Amino acid sequence: MSASERGKIVRPYGDTTGDGRVQVSFTLPVPFGTPAERARAEGAAAQLAAKMGLEPAMVVHAKGMGPDYTFFIVYGRVSHLVDLSQVTVVEREFPLLSPAEVNLRIRTGLGRKLVVVGACIGTDAHTVGIDAILNVKGHAGEKGLEYYREIRVVNLGSQVAVSDLVAAARAEGADAVLVSQVVTQRDAHISNARDMSAAFDAAAASPAAGLRRPLLVVGGPRFDPAMAAELGVDKIFGKGTTPGEVASYLAYALTPDGGGAAVEDAAVQDAAVQDAAGAVRESAAAGAGAVRENAAAGASASRAASAASAAGAAA
């Protein structure tokens, strides 16, 4: 194996480089009360870990979770290798834009405000995700979509029925629909996303519905960004997504040729403004320094004159 090939193959790191040691956690429906139950529970965890390929497997932590469940942390070695050349990731297909660039692209490309309708659908009552993207306070140091002057945001909140989401998108003339899914038990986020896309496709196919299909975007910590086509949506955002990424994507997807030259000119102008502001700050700092130096020199001269006058008086 060549040096370049070795660089593509890695093993887990635990105590020493390449020792293959990993730590996993899981819960089993076994009690952890009496000493006999604890011994049996840890034996069950070790058996499962061995079947998972951990050898030797050590149960390093166990804690009862109510009367009938136990949580475990197991440490052990695996023989599997990771081939980095076979790892596939979804690359970002759009440039990250500043809020000013997003606003300019929308204004130039659409000639009106871009309308976004957001919600948590099904039984999901966790609005932390959708609020982080939509609310003006934003997330991770970035302002939410409400901050953008060329985006009109309609946040429907939590536990919104798919039929109500379709109706709201029609009433608001939505260009994009954003759905956040935090509840993932029994893959509820997957089925909800499929139901949503099917409902919008059906509404768009019906002339009586009077709805053009908006851009469908879903996000949440357990979505796989590579599953967009499978779920029937246009874009999936995973964990760690920021409002700026979503705004940039919307501007890119809904205004594909939206004032590219104008946006570039705006970026150049913004850079020029920043440079000019920096020059002004440097000039002001230099001027202030000169004033301080002159004042210090004047004060020294004044003290010298006072000393000479005092010496003459004494003589």
| 3-class SS string, 221-264 | CCCCHHHHHHHCCCEEECCCCCHHHHHHHHHHHHCCCCCHHHHH
Dihedral angle sign, alpha carbons of residues 34, 39, 40, 45: positive
Query: Residue 241 has what pLDDT?
Result: 94
Query: Residue 165 has what pLDDT?
Result: 97
Choose the final residue of a domain: 259, 276, 301: 259
Query: Residue 11 has what pLDDT?
Result: 94
Residues 221 and 114 in one domain: yes
Q: Residue 151 domain-assigned?
A: yes
Q: Is 235 a catalytic residue?
A: no
Q: Which tokens go with 60?
A: 């390093």
Query: Residue 182 has what pLDDT?
Result: 87
Please give the chain's pLDDT, 315 residues, in tens. Answer: 455 555 689 999 999 999 999 999 999 999 999 999 999 999 999 999 999 999 999 999 999 999 999 999 999 999 999 999 898 888 899 999 999 999 999 999 999 999 999 999 998 889 999 999 999 999 989 999 999 999 999 999 999 999 999 999 999 999 999 999 987 788 889 999 999 999 999 999 887 767 889 999 999 988 999 999 999 999 999 999 999 999 999 999 999 876 555 455 555 554 444 555 555 566 656 666 665 666 666 666 566 556 555 555 555
Residues 78 and 139 in one domain: no
Residues 150 and 250 in one domain: yes
Q: How would you class 289 by CB atoms within 10 Å of its CB: exposed for 0-12, middle for 13-18, buried for 19 or more?
A: exposed
Residues 190 and 139 in one domain: yes
Q: Could you give the angle at the alpha carbon of 91 between the alpha carbons of 88 and 92, nearest 5°?
A: 165
Query: Residue 206 has what pLDDT?
Result: 83
Q: Residue 79 domain-assigned?
A: yes
| Structure-token match 């909800």, residue found | 192
Query: Residue 1 has what pLDDT?
Result: 45
Choose the final residue of a domain: 86, 110, 138: 86
Q: How would you class 300 by CB atoms within 10 Å of its CB: exposed for 0-12, middle for 13-18, buried for 19 or more?
A: exposed
Q: Residue 92 domain-assigned?
A: no
Residues 82 and 103 in one domain: no
Give me the catalytic one of 51, 63, 137, 143.
137
DSSP 280: H
Residues 106 and 245 in one domain: yes
Query: Residue 290 has what pLDDT?
Result: 60
Residues 75 and 129 in one domain: no
Whole-model pTM over 0.85? no
Query: Residue 186 has what pLDDT?
Result: 85
Residue-number span of the structural domain to which 197 is assigned = 99-259
Q: Residue 289 domain-assigned?
A: no
Domain total in the chain: 2
Query: Residue 273 has what pLDDT?
Result: 44
Residues 47 and 160 in one domain: no
Burial 273-288 (b: 16+ CB within 10 A, else e): eeeeeeeeeeeeeeee
Nearest alpha-carbon partner for 160 in 124, 187, 193, 202 = 124
What gap in Å lies between CA 165 and CA 219, rounded to an integer? 16
Q: Residue 273 domain-assigned?
A: no
Residues 104 and 172 in one domain: yes
Residues 64 and 207 in one domain: no
Residues 41 and 156 in one domain: no
CATH classification at residue 125: 3.40.50.280
Burial 36-65 (b: 16+ CB within 10 A, else e): eebeebbebbbebbeeeebeebbbeebebe
| Structure-token match 């608001």, residue found | 172
Residue 112 falls in which region: left (phi positive, over 0), alpha (psi -120 to 50) or beta:
beta
CB neighbours (10 Å) of residue 146? 18
Query: Residue 309 has what pLDDT?
Result: 58
Choose the final residue of a domain: 41, 63, 86: 86
Residues 145 and 46 in one domain: no
DSSP bridge pairs for 178: 118, 217
For residue 273, report the phi and psi dihedrals to the nearest 5 degrees.
-65, -45
CATH classification at residue 49: 3.30.30.60
